[in-house]
Amino acid sequence: MNMNTKQTSGELPRVLGIFSIIGIVIGSMIGSGIFINPAAVARELSDPLLMMSVWAMGGILSFFGALALAELGAVYVQSGGIYVYLREAYGGLIAFLFGWTIFLVIESGTIAALSVGFSTKYLPHFMPLTPLQAKILSVSLIAILSTINYHGTKNGAYLMNFLTSVKFVALIGVCAVVFVFASGNTANFIVANSSTPTPGGPPTGGLIGNFGVALVAVLWAYKGFESSTYCAGEIKDPQRKLPMGLFIGSAAVILLYIAANLAYLYVFSTSEMAESNRIASDAVQVAIGPIGASIVAAIILTSITGTCNGHILTSPRVLYAMAKDGHFFNVMARVHQKHKTPHMAIAAVAVWASLLAVSGTFEQLFTYVIFGYWIFMGLTVAGVIVLRKKKPNIERPYRTWGYPWTPIFFIASAVFLVFNSLIRTFWNSVIGLAIISLGIPVYYLWKKRVRDTATPS
């Protein structure tokens, strides 16, 4: 990465339009999940109607979450997104813990996971790689995308728009190819085929517990719409364009995910889906033969690249916002004099994500804190209600549709997911809480440091 020394403190310019916001929403949501996770859902829920119900519920929850973020994003139009909303609703500590977790694991871990998946799971379909070569390519992908975003927000947005368009059209193409060329069975949409046993036997956690586990997998595939809020400070006319981008982007992904799952069910029963590690490749291969696996592998590589770029484009803005509040290293608030990007924050995310990718520890960290993501998302959506009470007179260019019921439904679902994780994966959840809680003394140490610096000697 070209670490040009020209830098200054200041605001980030508003250069992103509506198409860029839609591109960030769709591009960050569609990663590899829709190509893989349907099999995990089928393993938990063997009934096709239940399987489709959990995908529909995940879509509804995501859309309700987008509705709430649209209201918050239209009120608070500076960079940082959820960090800013949590700060305004609950104060600095909760906001800091979110930013701490975002940097330490959630966003950096996502970037690491995507880069490792790119080099170890899908690129080897076209060329064999040694473990060392795979690690070099993982870090190289992060470095290339970070350099593009380092040299201008518009550069990252243009790349995002292009990759999002390619993978969106390609996923539509996958659905069309399956429905047109495969010899499928529409009975799979409503009837479970129990002739093929689910690997490891039937689910044993009870219907509610299994539905909760499946919902976590589904919501992970839907994750990403919130990333667009992180760069609210760089959006032109954010009061109008951020809500519009959230609506259009999340609705488009929901419809596409439902169509993709119907395409998979068209050629496979739920029990057959449960046995597939690469359900999209298998479905296209049934339709057009062995070349289908290569086509899907190329689509997934494009999709992963776009999603990785989306997280690199947006997540450094959280560090930038934290630093501006005095809750992170001051250097993270610097704006490049020429490129007008939070270049030091981008570099920090790139370096930490690269270390996680090389070490391989991100997968375990991810397991520990993924349920914590839903704690913060639940608190954020609850922030709509809190701020309506706390700041009733503030101007709200957009008000959440279905208030208060849509936020309440999302909050209740987030609570269910957190408690279901505590029951099903107790120790992982406890360790995750411990990792998040480590940020508490760090926050107070940071506040003391800032206070001591501001106090004349």
Rounded to 10 deg, the angle between the 92-101 and 316-324 helix axes is 150
Give Cα 349 distance to the centre of its chain.
Answer: 15
Q: Does 1 score more than 60 pLDDT?
A: no
Asked if 98 and 383 touch (Cβ cutoff 8 Å), the reply is: no
- Half-sphere exposure in the Cβ direction for 88 (13 Å, CA): 26
Determine, yes or no, domain membership for 3.
no
CA nearest neighbour of 33 among 167, 127, 140: 167
CA 74 – CA 173 distance, rounded (Å): 35
State the Cα–Cα distance between residues 175 and 222, nearest whole angstrom: 18
Averaged pLDDT for residues 440-448: 89
Asked if residue 349 belongs to a domain, the reply is yes
3-state secondary structure at position 16? strand
The torsion of the CA quartet 78, 81, 86, 88, rounded to 10 degrees, works out to 20
Contact 79, 13 (CB under 8 A): no
314: Cβ contacts below 8 Å, ≥ 6 apart: 24, 28, 81, 227, 228, 230, 231
- Mean pLDDT value of segment 236-242: 92
Examine residue 7 and state whether it is found in any structural domain, yes or no: no
- Whether 215 maps to a domain, the answer reads yes
Residue 5 in any domain: the answer is no
Q: Is 58 left (phi over 0), alpha (psi -120 to 50) or beta?
A: alpha
Q: Which residues contact 370 (CB under 8 A, 6 or more apart)?
A: 106, 216, 220, 421, 432
Q: Considering the domain boundaries, does residue 334 fall inside one?
A: yes
Is residue 276 predicted with pLDDT exceeding 90? no
Q: How many CA atoms lie within 13 A of 201 on its CB side?
A: 2
Judged against a pLDDT cut of 90, whether residue 259 lies above it is answered with: yes
- What length is written for the chain? 457
Identity at 117, one-letter amino acid code: G
Mean pLDDT of all residues in 61-74: 94
pLDDT grade for 199, boundaries at 50, 70 and 90? very low
Pairing of strands 334-335, 8-9: antiparallel
Q: How far, rounded to the nearest angstrom, does the alpha carbon of residue 175 sit from its chain's CA centroid?
A: 23
Residue 140 CA to residue 260 CA, distance in Å, equals 31
Q: Is the sign of the CA dihedral 307, 26, 420, 279 positive or negative? A: negative
Average pLDDT of the chain to the nearest whole number: 88
Find the farthest-apart pair of alpha carbons in the chain and give their distance in angstroms, rounded: 79
CB 415 within 8 A of CB 378: yes
Is residue 242 pLDDT above 60, yes or no? yes
Minimal CA–CA distance to 27: which of 174, 223, 216, 200?
A: 223
Number of domains comprising the chain: 1
pLDDT band at 184 (very low <50, low <70, confident <90, very high): confident
Has residue 190 been placed in a domain?
A: yes
Report, as an integer, the average pLDDT of 104-124. Answer: 88
Asked if residue 456 belongs to a domain, the reply is no
Integer-rounded Cα Rg, in Å, for the chain is 22
Residue 226's SS3 state is coil
Which domain CATH number covers 328? Answer: 1.20.1740.10
Averaged pLDDT, 200-228: 76
Residue type, 101: T
Give me the mean pLDDT over the 301-326 stretch.
94
Q: What is the pLDDT of residue 366?
A: 66
Residue 224: give the domain boundaries: 12-451
Least confident among 152-161, 170-179, 363-372: 363-372
Q: What is the mean pLDDT of residues 444-452?
A: 80
- Answer yes or no: is pLDDT of 376 > 50: yes
Encode 209-234: b = buried (16+ Cβ within 10 Å), e = exposed: ebbbbbbbbbbbbbbbbbbbbbbbbb
Looking at residues 418-427, what average pLDDT do you find?
82
Helix spans in 275-404 (H):
279-288, 291-314, 316-324, 343-359, 362-390
Burial of 275 (0-12, 13-18, 19+ CB in 10 A): middle
